[in-house]
Amino acid sequence: MVSQNIVSPDDQSATFVELFFDIVFVFSVTQVVQLIHHDLMWETVGQGILVFWMVWWAWTQFTWALNAADTTNQLVEIGTLIATGVAFFMAAALPDAFHGRELEFAIPYVLVRVIGLGLYAWVASADASQAAAVRKFGAVSLSGLVAVLIGGLAGGTLQYVFWGLAIGLDIAAAVIGGRMEGWNIHPEHFGERHGLFVIIALGETLIIAAGGVAGVEWTTTLIGVAILAVGTSCGLWWSYFAHAKQKLDHALENCRGAVQSMMGRDVFSLAHFPMLFGVIAYAVAVEEAVLHPNDPLSVGGRLALAAGLVLFVGGMAGAIWRATSLILISRIAVIGVTGIAILGLAGVDPIVTLAIAFGGVVVIGVLEISAYRRTSKEVAA
């Protein structure tokens, strides 16, 4: 039965319209990977960071709004579908956002953000404290959106300046707004939605690996590279979903008010950005490896692989520290050594480099399974 209420019920789970909305962000992640891999230089990496922040912040702001809304309400569904259509054009323009399609990217991005803010304001109108929090967040956010449009109009160096300023204003809006009471987060839905985005990003690494294998001769080396790429992606999934995510979800469920909103902001909205950019960097390295399985990874490829693993696996350790004050020493140490080994071992075939990456995530998985079992036994005793 379709709900006529605008406010989210406490037991809301992710709905089909939200998953449909996510599809366009699958394409966006693909576009960021292609932007960086096309010309793996520092300037391109910087461009990737800027545009992926916008993709991520558009998604996460909308997720906050849908967390507060009843997503079975037909008007909410229609608003989400309109935002999906607008975001499609944002994603399509993304690779050329610094090369002739600045406004074609900026305008849809701003529209998606405005639709999300409007939806949030509508939902929050039923609760005075929530309405006040949304108004304060929205006021600072709108200044960032103006900066995006100015950067799109100006182009060149000013585009970098104003889009960088927009990121700063987004963070300022999150810091200021997160301190207020009244956000009324539904933790289960909130954690589920962010987990689904992680799956989107990790799924992209599998798509890239499959794309490199399809339509070419399957040599022993290529098969080995593909197996290691898929295995490492599965290891990354395990490092997030097996035990770590539950710690984040539990921490969010066990706090209230402004403490909870700041937890959601820091652990999910902010900490997940470098983690997910790490997945993108990892995908760039995988693409190079499967396209050239007999050639050593370039310096940029090794940097992308090492940075990707450290950002995702190490970033999750940072999120857990923020949520629980627990320092995952073994995770940090192993992923650090893995990254150093990848960077230091030049001139070897990609199958060796990927074997190091796979070995690192497997060791982390084994150590954390052992630690989890020890803790479970101690609690049971």
pLDDT tens digits along 64-97: 999 999 999 999 999 999 999 999 999 999 999 9
pLDDT recorded at residue 378? 60
Secondary structure in 3-state letters for 298-339: CHHHHHHHHHHHHHHHHHHHHHHHHHHCCCCHHHHHHHHHHH
Q: Read off the pTM.
A: 0.93
pLDDT recorded at residue 22? 94
**Mean pLDDT, residues 300-313:** 97
CB 305 within 8 A of CB 265: no
**Mean pLDDT, residues 240-268:** 94
Q: How many H helices and E strands in the chain?
A: 15, 0
**Rounded CA separation 162/367 (Å):** 44
pLDDT of residue 380 exceeding 60, the answer is no
pLDDT tens digits along 162-221: 999 999 999 999 999 888 888 889 999 999 999 999 999 999 899 999 998 998 999 999
Query: How big is the chain by its Cα radius of gyration, in Å?
Result: 21
**Rounded CA separation 295/219 (Å):** 14
What mean pLDDT is reported for the chain?
A: 93
Question: Which domains does the chain carry?
Answer: 13-184 (no CATH), 186-381 (1.20.1410)
Q: Which residue has the tokens 């990254």?
A: 339
Whether the CA torsion 276, 167, 109, 62 is positive or negative: it is positive
pLDDT of residue 3 exceeding 70, the answer is no
CB 149 within 8 A of CB 106: yes
pLDDT recorded at residue 1? 44
* Nearest alpha-carbon partner for 59 in 187, 205, 170: 170
pLDDT recorded at residue 2? 47
pLDDT recorded at residue 4? 63
pLDDT of residue 300 exceeding 90, the answer is yes
pLDDT of residue 222 exceeding 80, the answer is yes
pLDDT recorded at residue 178? 85
Assigned token pair, 10: 């406490």
Q: What percent of the chain has pLDDT over 90?
A: 85
Mapped onto helix, strand or coil, the DSSP state of residue 242 is coil
pLDDT recorded at residue 373? 80
Assigned token pair, 44: 């391109």
pLDDT recorded at residue 379? 55
* Nearest alpha-carbon partner for 61 in 146, 129, 142, 151: 142
**Mean pLDDT, residues 222-243:** 96
**Mean pLDDT, residues 367-375:** 83
pLDDT recorded at residue 372? 78
